Amino acid sequence: MRPTRLEKPSTHRNDWQTIRSLLPYLWEFKGRVVAALAFLVIAKLANVAVPLVLKEIVDALDQPQALRGLPVLLLVGYGALRLCSTLFGELRDAIFAKVTQRAIRRVAIKVFGHLHALSLRFHLERQTGGVSRDIERGTRGISFLLNFMLFNILPTLLEIGLVAAILLSRYDVWFSVIIFATLVAYIALTLIVTEWRMIFRRTMNDMDSKANTQAIDSLLNYETVKYFSNESWEARRYDEHMQKWEAAAIRNQTSLAALNSAQSAIIAVGVTLLLWLAADGVIKGSMTLGDLVLINAFMLQLYMPLHFLGFVYREIKHSLADMEKMFNLLAEHEEIKDKPGATSLIPGNAAVSFERVNFSYEPNRQILFDVSFDIPAGRNIAVVGHSGSGKSTLSRLLFRFYDITTGRILINDQDISHVTQQSLRKAVGIVPQDTVLFNDSIYYNIAYGRPDASREEVFEAARSAHIHDFIENLPDKYETRVGERGLKLSGGEKQRVAIARAILKKPAILIFDEATSALDSNSEKAIQAELKRIAVNRTTLTIAHRLSTIADADQILVMSNGSIIERGTHRELLAANGTYAYMWELQQQEEQNASAGDKHMTQKPDVLPTPG
């Protein structure tokens, strides 16, 4: 059985919390919000006045033939009120459009920026597909919530209040009693059933996010899926989530049908009772035919928005469910933050010091133990060691992707935890072992090192990385797209792009993390020479596996299990005949064996072997 990942329980926000989170975005355009609400009230007043004018028209026409005349003013007024109810509604939507779209934009930007502000730890644990779907649903939910809550629920409640007041002031109290009883029954049913149905919506959202996460993860690792012929396995994993989504969606739809039927039954009973009372009043002579038309018109006007109110409430609850995950992302703690009063780093000649640094990714898993070393300005310090010895952790700490447990990291005697992250990372450049590129052009990926660089500076950086000629021979040259994560380029080509990007950045401190690991021997020698050239007068930390690439470093640190066990120059470490000397001898033997194998493969026998 294949392993499954334990999911963290989701945190449900209070709905009012989510609504309050939107208020600051609305107040950016206070004038527009007030104007939109004013137009909303005018539109509803006009809408409520329409049946009143219609009653007067009917009563005017219900006179004896001798007294009957054409009620021109009433007819014109009726048409004007109809126009106003629509016109001011459209003006309201037009004025409020900027508020809605700006709120969506502001929230999306805030979430996007917050995700980039979160620590590397969060991003190593995240599921990209699920996060992207949460943001997509959340921004869509904002639009629905703002428009429907402000322009459907509030106006509907206003209209119901106006109608109830008119009926109470002009007719028997039973008309108002029936209306209020109908409303209470309708709203109580809607609230209770909708709250119960929310579990289906949340399940649908969870399964949708998980299915999307699994689909994106599978497609990003397309080649791995093909290597192991696991297409059907991936499809089954995807279908597991979709089956649960389907079951929740079916229950969601069937419960909706039951809710709609019950709501219609309540409205039908209420309308029937009101018309019964009105018809009885007309027969008894206490009400005119116009009164009957008025009450019927009011009921028709109330029936649609009230029935729609149930739909809107359900959709608002769905929108809040959609938004809660997006706002939960904003609630994620920023593990690495600039301290109050943090100043910009002044790199100068950029001398680096690690002073008794201890570090743990997890409380029960310490990675570095009392690590201390100095990189004098303009010097090259190399770090070697077996996998898992803590070499790459040094570069992550120097970038301050994590805060150290104890100790200090200094650049020119400035504690990096006391300077701004932006100024720190601007001063440090890296050529990583695993280069991941954006799905854009080669030019874009190189220029990413310094977006404001000129085209000639980008070309010069490419020449320095020995990739310019290769790019110029491509059909689209620098506009060639590199594909998802740069998969259209070979490992060596991607690494050259990364080197060009680092060169273009012109940092005071350079980190080479297995920078030539993906290159062949000839390319490695050419790139090594170029790396030495660009490292001149720059403080350099070189993390290496091939010892031959760092033999001329000013100092070499040998790490094992998170501690520095040896340090010195290449000659000093060989003379010490310790771990470094053993690693050097082992690699020399491997290279000799590989060279002998290549020579044997290329030699041609003078005489063909005779079969025995």
Q: Which range has the top average pLDDT, 60-74, 512-526, 540-554?
A: 540-554
DSSP labels for 74-119?
HHHHHHHHHHHHHHHHHHHHHHHHHHHHHHHHHHHHHHHHHHHHS-
DSSP lists the bridge partners of residue 368 as 359
Quick one: pLDDT at residue 373? 92
Confidence of residue 67 (pLDDT cuts 50, 70, 90): low
Residue 606 has pLDDT above 50, yes or no: no
CA separation for the pair 519, 435 (Å, rounded): 13
pLDDT digits (tens, 9 = 90+) for 133-144: 677 777 777 777
CA separation for the pair 298, 290 (Å, rounded): 12
Mean pLDDT of 520-541: 74
CA separation for the pair 17, 324 (Å, rounded): 9
484 found inside a domain = no
> What range defines the domain where residue 72 resides?
15-330
Structure tokens at 57: 């028209």
Task: Tell me the three-class secondary structure of 348-369, residue by residue.
Answer: CCCCEEEEEEEEEEECCEEEEE
Nearest to 153 by CA among 314, 322, 317, 312: 312
CA separation for the pair 206, 569 (Å, rounded): 56
384 found inside a domain = no
Q: Which range has the top average pLDDT, 102-111, 171-180, 307-316, 389-398?
A: 389-398
Structure tokens at 418: 């006391």
CB neighbourhood size of 5 (10 A)? 6
Nearest to 144 by CA among 113, 112, 103: 103
In three-state secondary structure terms, 178 is helix
CB neighbourhood size of 222 (10 A)? 13
pTM attached to this predicted model = 0.62
Quick one: pLDDT at residue 3? 40
CA separation for the pair 246, 344 (Å, rounded): 53
445 found inside a domain = no
Strands 539-543 and 509-513: parallel
* Helix, strand, coil distribution of the chain in percent, nearest 5: 65, 10, 25
Mean pLDDT of 87-108: 81
CA separation for the pair 170, 162 (Å, rounded): 12
CA separation for the pair 523, 526 (Å, rounded): 5
Instruction: Supply the DSSP symbol for 27.
Output: G
CA separation for the pair 131, 151 (Å, rounded): 30
CA separation for the pair 524, 529 (Å, rounded): 8
Number of residues assigned to the chain: 612
CB 77 within 8 A of CB 56: no
Mean pLDDT of 570-579: 90
Tell me, rounded to whole angstroms, the distance of Cα 247 from its chain centroid.
27
Quick one: pLDDT at residue 443? 92
66 found inside a domain = yes
Residue 151 has pLDDT above 50, yes or no: yes
The letter for the amino acid at 246 is: E
423 found inside a domain = no
Confidence of residue 146 (pLDDT cuts 50, 70, 90): confident
Instruction: Supply the DSSP symbol for 219.
Output: H
Quick one: pLDDT at residue 119? 63
Instruction: Supply the DSSP symbol for 428.
Output: E
Confidence of residue 308 (pLDDT cuts 50, 70, 90): low
Structure tokens at 303: 């029936």
User: Taking the alpha carbons of 211, 214, 218, 221 in that order, is the dihedral positive or negative?
Assistant: positive
Residue with more model confidence, 3 or 373: 373
Structure tokens at 128: 């990209």
CA separation for the pair 448, 504 (Å, rounded): 9
245 found inside a domain = yes
Nearest to 369 by CA among 560, 529, 240: 560
CA separation for the pair 49, 77 (Å, rounded): 10
CA separation for the pair 183, 274 (Å, rounded): 13
Residue with more model confidence, 556 or 600: 556
Mean pLDDT of 479-508: 84
Quick one: pLDDT at residue 565? 92
**CATH code for the domain in which residue 213 is found:** 1.20.1560.10
DSSP labels for 459-519?
HHHHHHTT-HHHHHTSTTGGG-B--GGGTTS-HHHHHHHHHHHHHHH--SEEEEESTTTTS
236 found inside a domain = yes
Residue 43 has pLDDT above 80, yes or no: yes
Structure tokens at 588: 């020399």
| DSSP-H helix ranges across 221-288 | 222-227, 231-284
CA separation for the pair 220, 212 (Å, rounded): 12
Strands 555-560 and 563-568: antiparallel
Torsion of CA 227, 229, 235, 237, to 10 degrees: -80
Mean pLDDT of 327-355: 81
CA separation for the pair 487, 435 (Å, rounded): 10
Quick one: pLDDT at residue 127? 60
Quick one: pLDDT at residue 126? 63
Quick one: pLDDT at residue 15? 64
Residue with more model confidence, 558 or 155: 558
User: Taking the alpha carbons of 361, 363, 367, 372 in that order, is the dihedral positive or negative?
Assistant: positive
User: b/e map of 258-288 (b: 16 or more CB within 10 Å)?
Assistant: ebeebbeebbeebbebbeebbeebeeeeebe
Residue 6 has pLDDT above 50, yes or no: no
Structure tokens at 69: 């005349």
C-alpha distance from residue 450 to each of 446, 447, 587 (Å): 8, 6, 37
User: How many domains does the chain contain in total?
Assistant: 1
CA separation for the pair 327, 18 (Å, rounded): 7
pLDDT digits (tens, 9 = 90+) for 405-429: 899 999 988 998 899 988 888 888 8
CB 128 within 8 A of CB 83: no
Residue 13 has pLDDT above 60, yes or no: no
Residue 401 has pLDDT above 60, yes or no: yes
Q: Which range has the top average pLDDT, 115-119, 346-350, 474-478?
A: 474-478
Residue with more model confidence, 204 or 468: 468
In three-state secondary structure terms, 560 is strand
pLDDT digits (tens, 9 = 90+) for 157-179: 777 778 777 877 888 888 878 87
pLDDT digits (tens, 9 = 90+) for 353-387: 999 999 988 878 888 899 999 999 888 999 998 87
273 found inside a domain = yes
Quick one: pLDDT at residue 514? 77
CA separation for the pair 46, 51 (Å, rounded): 10
CA separation for the pair 473, 457 (Å, rounded): 19
Structure tokens at 86: 């629509």
CB neighbourhood size of 474 (10 A)? 11
Phi and psi, residue 544, nearest 5°? -135, 155
The mean of the pLDDT values for the chain is 79
